[in-house]
């Protein structure tokens, strides 16, 4: 099951990618992924917090960076969506900054879910995560365009 969102950002793709991989800065602009520990390097283990509700943050303890490609402007990580239960639900989260023109970027943000519960949870994940991803996309757009 895949969730995929897109937004156009009036900034160069390289600038969008730089904001995306600047993990220490997430708390200052990202309303969804509020904190990331680790570095954006292939093979690196990262952990992060996701804001699930106004006063609820869910820790995601261990994901692995699969792609951190500055020339392709792509960042991708994979890990269990349910801690300690990757066979039940696992997600491969991706971000791609595609150049439309020198000053315009199509930002593609999504996740591919696999595991025993992926099909059953599709309606819930589709609704909740699509809105969360769009919220993050809008915040990234604001950050990059200022």
pLDDT digits (tens, 9 = 90+) for 17-69: 999 999 999 999 999 999 999 999 999 999 999 987 778 888 888 899 999 99
How far CA 74 is from CA of 15, 53, 120, 123, 127, in Å, comes to 12, 28, 29, 27, 25
Task: Provide the whole-model pTM.
Answer: 0.92
Mean pLDDT of the 99-116 span: 95
- Domains of the chain, CATH where assigned: 2-145 (3.30.530.20)
What SS3 class is residue 113?
strand
Cβ atoms 39, 23 nearer than 8 A: yes
Is residue 85 over pLDDT 80?
no
């Amino acid at each position: 099951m895949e969730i995929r969102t897109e937004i156009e950002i009036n900034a160069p793709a390289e600038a969008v990618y730089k904001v995306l991989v600047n993990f220490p800065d997430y708390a200052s602009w990202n309303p969804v992924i509020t904190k990331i520990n680790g570095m954006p390097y292939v093979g690196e283990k990262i952990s992060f917090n996701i804001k699930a509700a106004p006063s609820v943050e869910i820790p995601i303890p261990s994901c692995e960076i699969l792609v951190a490609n500055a020339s392709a402007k792509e960042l991708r990580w994979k890990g269990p969506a349910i801690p300690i239960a990757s066979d039940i639900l696992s997600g491969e989260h991706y971000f791609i900054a595609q150049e439309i023109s020198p000053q315009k970027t199509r930002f593609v943000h999504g996740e591919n879910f696999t595991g025993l519960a992926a099909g059953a949870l599709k309606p819930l994940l589709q609704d909740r995560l699509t809105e969360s991803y769009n919220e993050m996309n809008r915040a990234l757009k604001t950050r990059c365009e200022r």
